[in-house]
Chains A and B, each alone.
Chain A
Amino acid sequence: MGLLKNGQAVADSYTDVSEHEVIGDTVAGAIIVSLQQWQEHRDALLERSAPLGIVLRSNEKPELIRSDLSHFAVIALDFPTFRDGRAYSHARMLRERFGYQGELRAVGEVLLEQLHYMQRVGFNSFAIASDAALRDWETAAADMSVWYQPGADERATAVELRHKVG
C-alpha cells in the first residue's frame, strides 16, 4: 500500500503488527502496535530499539495515551469507513491540545476527497489504497485555497488574511 507523506509518495518503513496475536521478536525494525498491545506489553515494547508507532481505532480516544506520546514516532488513526469522522477530532486533540509533533497517519478508508480535511486537522501522512489517489494528489492539494476555520496546520484563515496588517 502506498504512503503519502508530506506531499511525497514514500515506502512505509513500519510493519503493522496491531492484528498479530503475539508480537514477539519475529518482526524486526519499526512496528505499529494496537492500544491493547501497548497497554499489555509496554515494558517489552520500550526495550526495543526500533521506532515505535501505535494505531488508535476510532472509538479509542487519544486521552488514553496522552502521557505516553513521547514514545511514539507514528500515531496512526483509523477510519473504519470514510463516514466515521471521529479521528478528525482526535487528530486536532493530539496536535493542538497534547502537542504531539510526530508523524500523524491516516489509515483505513482514506479517500482522496478527504485529504484536505485530514491535512487541516493535523495529519501529515496517508495510507492510500489506490495509485490513482497518489497520482491525483497534487491536483487535490490545490483544490481549495480558502479556509474559514483555524486548524492544526499552518494555513491562514480567511479572517486572518482579511485583517492582516500591512
Chain B
Amino acid sequence: MYQYDEFDSRLVKERAEQFRRQVQRRLNGELTEDQFKPLRLMNGLYLQLHAYMLRVNVPYGVLSSRQMRKLADIARRYDRGYGHFTTRQNIQYNWIQLEQVPDLLNELADVEMHAIQSSGNCIRNVTSDQYAGVAADEIEDPRIWCEIIRQWSTLHPEFSYLPRKFKIAVTGSPNDRAAVQVHDIGLRMHRNAAGEPGFEVIVGGGQGRTPHIGKTIREWLEPEHLLSYLEAILRVYNLDGRRDNMFKARIKILVHQIGTDKFRQLVEAEWAAIRDSELQLPQAEIDRIAAHFAPRDYPQRNDAGDLLAEQASQNAAFGAWLKANVAEHKTPGYAIANISLKSLTAPPGDITAEQMDVAADLADEYSYGEIRVNHRQNLVLPDVAQEQLFELWEKLAANGLGTANIGHVSDIIACPGLDYCSLANARSIPIAQEINARFQEMDRVHEIGKVSINVSGCMNACGHHHVGNIGILGVDKKGKEFYQFTLGGSSGRDAALGERTGRGFPAAEAVDAVENILNTYVELRAADEDFLETYRRVGMQPFQEALYGTA
C-alpha cells in the first residue's frame, strides 16, 4: 500500500496544527460558529444530535494493521470504545470532544491518516473496489489512480468551496464493486480497441433526494490525462453548478438541467485548454506511486479446494462462511476473506476497539498486515492462503466477527438514522437489527441467497436505499415513523434505481413486509435466479399483490 514520503507527512502534520489554531480561535470567540463550521467540516468534524462526530478518511478503503490499531486506540481514548465504518469506506466516531480533536488528528498523522475533506463542500475521500489489486477480473490496480486523485484533491485551492460535496469512485475492473454509476464522477477502467487500458468517465450519478444514474461523457480517457480531465469537470461544475438552493447544487442537477451533450461540450472545451499543462503527470511520478502497489511476491501455493470442501463438509458453519464470505483471488492457492460487521449484536458497520485489534492481529498473521473496508460497511482480508482459511474463521468466530452473511439478507446497509443524525426522520439501525434478528436461521438466509437490503432514515439516502435490491426509506408521517419500500435497485455494473412499491408501513409492520417480499421472491424464482434477476423478470406486480392484496 502507499507509504507517505516527507511531503505527504508534512502536509498532514501542518494541517493538524493549523486546525489546532482554528479550534483555539473558535474557543476564544474570534470565529463565529458560522465561520468555524466550514473549517471543522473540512477536517471531518460534524455537530450531531448528542456530540461532535469525527469522520476519518480511509483512503479508497485500504488500512494497514498499524493504522487499524491506532483507530482502536482512538476509539478507546477519545470515544466510547467503538467506531462505525461507513458506506464511503471511512470510519466515524460519534462521541468526540472538540478540544481533543487537534491531538487526535495529530495522532492520526503519525500513522499516515487524516480527516481532511471528509465532509464539507469539497472533493471527498475517493472510494474504490475493496478487492483492488487481488481481484481476478481486474485490468489495472485502481489504487494507483485513487492515490493520484487523493493527492490532487487534497487542499485543492480552486475546488474547496464547491456548490456542494463531490464524490469520486474508481474501479479497475469491468465488474463494478465501487458503485461508480452513483457518484458525482465514476471512473471505470476498460480497454479500448487497441487493448490499452483507460477510463470511461461517468458524471452526475448520485442518490439523495433526486437520484440519478451517471451519464458517460467520455468512453475512454488515457490515464495520463486523468487529472486534467477531472480538473475540467470540476471547473465547469464550480462555475456553473447551482448555488441558490443546496438541494439542487450537486453536479447531477447541472448535468440533468443542461443535458449530457451540453455538459460534455463544456468539459471538452475546458479540457482542450489544460490537457497539456502541468496536470499531465510525469511518468516518473506515476511509476513512483505504482511501485507502492506492485503485486506481492506470493509464496507459491497449490489450490486447496479439496481441503476446503472437506473442512466445509465436516463443519457446516465454516461451510456457510466459506460460501458467503470468501471470494476468488487472482493468485492460485489464495483467497479473499470478508469480515461481516453485520452481526445481531451491533448496528451495521459498528466495531469495538477489541474487534479492531483482533482484525489487525489477524491481518498480520494471515494477510500481509493489510485490511480493506468495503462500501457495504464490512472489512476484507485480501490475501489469505486458502489452507489457512479454517483457522482464520475459527479466530474470527471466537471474536464475534465470523457472521456468514456477506451479500445476503442480513448484510444490510443502514445510515445512523434518528438515533444519531440530526437530519433523519426515522430510525434505521433498529429496522436493520430487527431484520437481522428475523433472519438468524442461516440455512434460511442461504436459501434466500444473494440480496441487498439498504435502509435510509431520510430522503438524503445515506443508507443507499435507491440502489438496494430492497430499499427501505424511513419517513415521518404526523409524528410516526413509516417505512417506504423500493424494489429492483442495484449499484453494480447493471446499476438501477429501485421502484416504489406503494404506501409505506408503520415501524411495527416493516419487517413483516420484508419477509413478505422475500417469500414472494422464493415462490416465484426460477432455478439459480437471485432476487434482482427474478424481480427484473416478473416485475413489480406480484410483489404489490403480496404486500397490499389484489383489490
Residues on A facing B (Cβ under 8 Å) = 61, 82-86, 88-90, 92, 97, 111, 113-114, 116-121, 132, 139, 143-151, 157-159, 161-163
Contacts and interface: CB of A to CB of B under 8 A. Distances in A.
9 contacts: A61-B239, A83-B38, A85-B159, A88-B238, A113-B39, A117-B158, A148-B156, A159-B285, A162-B288
Contacts of B523: none
Given A145-B10, A163-B285, A111 B158 contact: no
A90 B284 CA distance: 32
B151 A83 contact: no
B281 A147 contact: no
B21 A139 contact: yes
A85 B11 contact: no
B551 interface: no
A115 to B, nearest CB: 11
Contacts, number: 101
B298 interface: no
Contact of B162 (A85, A120, A121): A85
Given A146-B14, A148-B155, A159-B281, A88 B7 contact: no
B153 to A, nearest CB: 8
Contacts of A117: 155, 157-158, 160
A143 B277 CA distance: 27
A144 B11 contact: yes
Contact of A83 (B15, B161, B235): B161
B154 interface: yes
Contacts of A159: 281-282, 285
B151 A148 contact: yes
A53 to B, nearest CB: 23
Given A89-B158, A146-B11, A84 B243 contact: yes
A88 B273 contact: no
B544 interface: no
Interface of A is mostly: helix
B158 A150 contact: no
Interface in B275-321: 277-279, 281-282, 284-285, 288
B156 A149 contact: yes
B271 to A, nearest CB: 13
Contacts of A116: 155, 157
Interface string B14-28: 110110011000000
Interface centre among A61, A85, A121 (most CB of B within 10 A): A85
Given A88-B158, A150-B279, A82 B5 contact: no
Nearest to B281: A159
A97 B152 contact: no
A136 to B, nearest CB: 8
A146 B9 CA distance: 9
Interface residues of B, number: 41
B428 to A, nearest CB: 29
Contacts of B10: 145-146
B14 A149 contact: no
B292 to A, nearest CB: 13
B278 A157 contact: yes
B289 to A, nearest CB: 10
B33 interface: no
B282 A163 contact: yes
B237 to A, nearest CB: 10
B151 A89 contact: no
A132 B121 contact: no
A61 B10 CA distance: 36
A132 B31 CA distance: 11
A147 B288 CA distance: 18
Interface in B153-195: 154-163
B161 A88 contact: yes
B166 to A, nearest CB: 11
Contacts of B22: 113
Given A148-B152, A149-B157, 7 more contacts: A89-B158, A89-B239, A117-B155, A143-B17, A149-B158, A159-B285, A162-B285
A157 B235 CA distance: 20
Contact of A144 (B152, B155, B156, B279): B155
A116 B155 CA distance: 10
B35 interface: yes
B30 interface: yes
Contacts of A162: 5, 7, 285, 288
A113 B25 CA distance: 11
Nearest to B237: A89
The 8 closest A-B pairs by CB, nearest first: A85-B161, A120-B157, A150-B278, A117-B157, A158-B7, A146-B11, A148-B151, A143-B18
A57 to B, nearest CB: 12
B7 A92 contact: no
Contacts of B15: 144
Contacts of A86: 238-239, 243
A163 B18 CA distance: 27
